[in-house]
Amino acid sequence: MARLVLIQGDITKQKVDAIVNAANTSLQGGGGVDGAIHDAGGPSILEACKEILKDKGGKIKTGEAVITTAGKLPAKFVIHTAGPVWKGGGKGESKHLADCYRNSMFLAHERVLKTIAFPNISTGVYGFPKAQAAEIAIGIVRSLLEEEEAYNIEEVRFVCFDEENFKLYRQRMKGEMVDCG
């Protein structure tokens, strides 16, 4: 099974095959992780996003994932996934968040990537409860790696920018991870 790694830090500094961007549906950059990735990676990421959007009617669906160049980032690719906005939990937010992780992992597998780094999708301005988001993220990734023998991914990094998310992930991953934070 792949190695699970927990890091407190900046996802734009991760030297992996792909980092995941907690994007908005328009893929135009924004605040938080999305803005940081676009800023650090440079204009080639936005240009690649615009090309993808031509075939998608101007936006992607919540939970969908697409892949682009990583521009000037140390990663090879950026997987953009549109996380759900928290609206109280009764609007399919948990399913959509699970889809973000599932579809990102599928794209990494499809591209035969070995290493992938995830941020804490939807837990910033989108307001998803951090503890619930951590359970979903770890649960989906763990189940995909255990159940799908075909997954070629060797390392999954959870990169937590803030201390609260880092502590939540650490509590849930004890005994099965390499802690680099």
Q: Tell me: the pLDDT tens digits for 50-67? A: 999 998 999 999 999 999
CA atoms within 13 A on the CB side of 159: 22
Name the active-site residue from 17, 34, 162, 179. 34
- pLDDT the model gives residue 181: 47
> From its phi and psi, is residue 135 left (phi > 0), alpha (psi between -120 and 50) or beta?
alpha
Model pLDDT, residue 146 = 84
Write down the pTM of the prediction: 0.95
pLDDT value of residue 67: 98
> Is position 179 annotated as part of the catalytic site?
no
Q: Does domain 3-179 have CATH number 3.60.110.10?
A: no
**Residues of the chain predicted below pLDDT 50:** 181
pLDDT tens track for 11-38: 999 999 999 999 999 999 888 999 999 9
pLDDT attached to residue 149: 60
Note the pLDDT of residue 175.
Answer: 62
